[in-house]
Amino acid sequence: MGNPAKTLERQRSFKNAVLELRALTADDLEAVNGTILDHMQSSVKMIPEVAGHLINAGGKRLRPVLTIAAARSFGYDGRQHINLAAAVELIHGATLLHDDVVDESALRRGLETANIIWGNKESVLVGDFLFSRSFELMVKTGSLKVLDILSAASCTIAEGEVLQLATQKNTAATFEMYLDVVKAKTAALFAAATQAGAVIAGASETEEKAFYEYGLNFGIAYQLVDDALDYAGSQTDLGKSVGDDFREGKMTLPVVHAISAARNDEERAFWQRTIADVDQKDSDLPRALDLMQRDNIIPRTLDCAREFADAALASLRTLPRSNYTSALADLVDLSVARNS
């Protein structure tokens, strides 16, 4: 990640891949934004204020784009993928509001979080509201199967969040434990977004399954890159500080790798103190970064992400080819080379 020219090129490429997919789905995405805006409204005026702060804060709309692309890749020309994509983004928004309360985060996408501006109580309740609204939207699709997929995914997300709470600060956490958290808290919604998009378009069971696998593996790859960037990105790119996960004592894959690569008791004690006890001083983050550089931790994490990205691409290749599947392939390919 050291070559600035190469880094810039990678960044451009991922941004282009997202832009390509957004251009391909531009009309649908505009309709989704309108639907989201409609469903944030309430006579209780604090609700659209809090929800609007989050929803308008410049998210990539990655999950609804996945739903739209999956549905459109089968030539779907109905309108229910709009409600569905909006529902997926509202679930995501609800979990972000609750996440920021649970993580005590102060910054998201470069802006102060809702829990800081309005308070934890407001974030919990407006999250509940958005979550309920997302189910209202799913009901509008008229598909019980879609409701089944997304309610199961919502359960899995909550389980993943609780599991993360239980493994946080646990320096004995293994790669498998970490992967369980990532699958549940991030990849489950990616998988449900693409699978439900295929379902609403009337895809076959095999195609539906392939889109589920695509979403799940892409979601894992995406989160692994995110976790790597927390130790390697720059603040401007991420809209959050480098080392946020470190400061919170989060057991992410770079830390799992770094601990297993520790060469002596002193190094193991360093990770125990900084991650498990979250007892840190200013020189600790630079030292963590040094140790990670010495043991090649970030490239190893990105290699791991690459494996899941390859699995996502393999699933995609079993599906009917279209502009949409090409764009979805580019997205995966370039996401593992992104730096923001």
Which of 135, 271 has the CB closer to a copy of itself?
A: 135
Q: Return the C-alpha torsion angle 123, 129, 134, 140, nearest 10.
A: -160
113 close to 107: Cβ distance less than 8 angstroms = yes
Q: Give the residue with the Cβ less far from a copy of itself, 8 or 165.
A: 165
Gap between the Cα atoms of 150 and 84, Å rounded: 10
CA distance 90 to 68: 15
Place of tokens 């359960």: 155
Q: Which is nearer to a copy of itself, 38 or 303 (CB)?
A: 38
For residue 45, which amino acid is it?
A: K
Q: Which of 193, 230, 271 is nearest to 105 (CA)?
A: 230
Shortest distance (Å) from residue 288 CB to a copy of itself: 25
Round to whole Å and give the CA distance between 119 and 88: 25
Give whichever of 138 and 302 is closer to a copy of itself, judged by the CB atom. Answer: 138
- Minimum distance from residue 320 beta carbon to a copy of itself (Å): 29
Pick 138 or 216: Cβ nearer a copy of itself? 138
Closest separation in Å from C-beta 289 to a copy of itself? 28
Task: State how far the Cα of 207 lies from the Cα of 213, in Å rounded to an integer.
Answer: 10
Select 61 or 98, whichever has its Cβ closest to a copy of itself: 98
Q: In a 3-state reduction of DSSP, which class is residue 54? A: helix
Minimum distance, C-beta of residue 151 to a copy of itself, in the bound complex (Å): 4
What amino acid occupies position 115?
N
Find the shortest distance in angstroms from Cβ 234 to a copy of itself. Answer: 30
What residue ranges bind a copy of itself (CB under 8 A)?
Answer: 42-44, 46-47, 95, 98, 101-102, 120-122, 124-126, 128-129, 131-133, 135-136, 138-139, 142, 144, 147-148, 151-152, 154-155, 157-159, 161-163, 165-166
Residue 320 is classified by DSSP as P
Least gap, CB of 120 to a copy of itself (angstroms): 8
CB of 106 to a copy of itself, least distance (A): 16
Query: b/e per residue, 82-106, with b = 16+ CB within 10 A?
Result: bbbbbbbbbbbbbbbbbbbbbbebe
Question: With contact defined as beta carbons under 8 Å apart, do 207 and 291 qualify?
Answer: no
Q: Of the two residues 11 and 151, which places its CB atom closer to a copy of itself in the complex?
A: 151
> Smallest distance, Å, CB 333 to a copy of itself?
32
Type of residue numbered 104: E
Q: What is the DSSP letter of 171?
A: T
**Residue 23: count of CB within 10 angstroms of its CB:** 11
Q: What is the dihedral of CA 171, 253, 124, 28, to 10 degrees?
A: -170
> CA–CA separation, 15 vs 266, rounded Å?
41
At its nearest, how many Å lie between a copy of itself and the CB of residue 74? 23
Return d(Cα 179, Cα 163) in angstroms, integer: 11
In the complex with a copy of itself, the residue whose CB is nearer, 98 or 257, is 98
Q: 168 or 315: whose CB is closer to a copy of itself?
A: 168
